[in-house]
């Protein structure tokens, strides 16, 4: 149940079914007016903040095609079909950094862009890892870098980190660290 | 200039041009393999954290069609064509909350979902406002609510706040407040 009017569906077009996303465009009627709702469907994803040693956090630098830019981000990826987010988080961490999580903790989940997209991101934290092997996919070219929390915060302030989920996760760790002090 | 391979464009399809987003699908060749890049183009947006009185932050609750859920978010919206983000931030704040910013400060900008979308969100803060009028758009039904920083943080922990940009902004305010103490 929602409190607000969703509107009445007038017609629906399945515009695109793709590799990562689908696009559906709905004509709806809300409060007597006709309008359009563009919906990008996404399987959801994970982002992982790992402290592989005390205050040593792995990041990946990679090319982001939609931006034509290289971005520095925490390890992340989309959910494989039917895969529980916790398994996905451990898998992405191991593939992208070569560290295997012995245990991993769900911190929170959030929508990346709820105005037009249903992508839900699940944020995980671990400081309980062992060394394994990096296994990047064939069309995935990434570089592994390590930073402390203070270095990460400085890169948010300077604009070097431009990825929303990464900023959220680093600010969470900062808050959590301060709470424990 | 990017450090990593962008790949070579083999063919491009403009799949959809819409009200808020466009969708372009590129076939590319990377390191000898053919693959697909799905790109959602978005004009970018703003999110505004305002303290309209000390420790009193306006939020908007509204229906998010792609999720079929009502979400609690900070005032936000997309950039109008050619509009500087700072003007857009002040406009969205006034339209959605009825508070006019006398001055407003850019905190940081971040990509909401860089894997498939070029949406860049600009985050603004103000504690310098005067009372004005709410002016919501015809198909926009929203409810204004006010919370303190501590209440906002508790709603992140409880999962009541599920919007990524809102979580980022609240965690930033918490960090900034602690830095000033």
Residue A89 and residue A15 in one domain: no
Domain of A22 in residue numbering reads as 8-41
> Do the domain assignments include residue B170?
yes
Residue of chain B nearest A33, judged by CA positions: B139
The whole-angstrom distance between A99's CA and the closest CA on chain B is 23
Residue A97 and residue A22 in one domain: no
Q: Is A145 a catalytic residue?
A: no
- The answer to whether A144 faces chain B, any CB pair under 8 Å, is no
A3-14: average pLDDT? 91
Confidence at A135, pLDDT banded by 50, 70, 90: low
Contacts of A4 (CB under 8 A, 6+ apart): B61, B62, B63, B70, B141, B142, B143
- The answer to whether A73 faces chain B, any CB pair under 8 Å, is yes
Contact A96, A137 (CB under 8 A): no
Residue A133 and residue A101 in one domain: yes
> Do the domain assignments include residue B3?
no
A28-54: average pLDDT? 96
Q: Which residues of B touch A70 (CB under 8 A)?
A: 2-4
- The answer to whether A3 faces chain B, any CB pair under 8 Å, is yes
Residue B36 and residue B64 in one domain: no
Contact A97, A104 (CB under 8 A): no
Q: Which pairs from B21-30 meet CB under 8 Å and 24+ separation?
A: B21/A38, B21/A40, B21/A116, B21/B117, B23/A15, B23/A16, B23/A23, B23/A40, B25/A16, B25/A18, B26/A65, B28/A65, B30/A139, B30/A141, B30/B5
pLDDT tens digit sequence for A103-129: 999 999 999 999 999 999 999 999 999
> Do the domain assignments include residue A98?
yes
3-state secondary structure of A162: coil
> Do the domain assignments include residue B116?
no
Cα angle value B124/A42/B80 (rounded, 5°): 35
- Percent of chain A scoring above 70 in pLDDT: 94
pLDDT for the residue numbered B136: 63
pTM, to two decimals: 0.95
The whole-angstrom distance between B119's CA and the closest CA on chain A is 9
Residue A99 and residue A50 in one domain: yes
Q: In order along chain B (181 residues), what is the average pLDDT of each group of 10 residues?
A: 84 97 96 94 98 97 96 97 94 95 97 98 98 68 95 98 98 91 70
3-state secondary structure of A52: coil
Which helix (H) or strand (E) element contains residue B164?
helix B164-180
Residue A33 and residue A104 in one domain: no
> Do the domain assignments include residue B152?
yes
> Do the domain assignments include residue B49?
yes
Residue B16 and residue B81 in one domain: no
Q: Which residues of A touch B71 (CB under 8 A)?
A: 111, 114
CA distance A45 to A121: 5
Position A148 pLDDT exceeds 70: yes
- The answer to whether A15 faces chain B, any CB pair under 8 Å, is yes
- The answer to whether A66 faces chain B, any CB pair under 8 Å, is yes
Per the residue annotation, which of B34, B137, B140, B143 is the catalytic one?
B140
Count how many domains chain A has.
2
pLDDT for the residue numbered A31: 83
3-state secondary structure of A163: strand
Contact A66 B36 (CB under 8 A): no
């Amino acid at each position: 149940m929602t409190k607000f009017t969703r509107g009445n569906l007038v017609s629906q077009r399945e515009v695109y079914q793709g590799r990562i996303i689908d696009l559906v465009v709905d004509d709806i009627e809300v409060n007597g007016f006709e309008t359009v709702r563009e919906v990008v469907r996404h399987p959801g994803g994970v982002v992982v903040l790992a402290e592989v040693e005390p205050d040593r956090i792995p990041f990946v630098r990679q090319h982001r095609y939609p931006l034509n830019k290289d971005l520095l981000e925490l390890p992340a990826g989309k959910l494989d079909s039917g895969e529980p987010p916790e398994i996905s988080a451990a898998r992405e961490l191991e593939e992208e950094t070569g560290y295997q999580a012995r245990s991993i903790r769900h911190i929170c989940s959030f929508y990346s862009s709820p105005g037009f997209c249903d992508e839900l991101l699940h944020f995980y934290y671990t400081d309980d890892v062992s060394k394994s092997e990096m296994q990047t996919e064939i069309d995935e070219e990434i570089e592994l870098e390590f930073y402390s929390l203070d270095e990460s915060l400085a890169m948010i302030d300077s604009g070097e980190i431009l990825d929303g989920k990464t900023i959220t996760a680093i600010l969470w760790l900062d808050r959590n660290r301060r709470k424990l002090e």
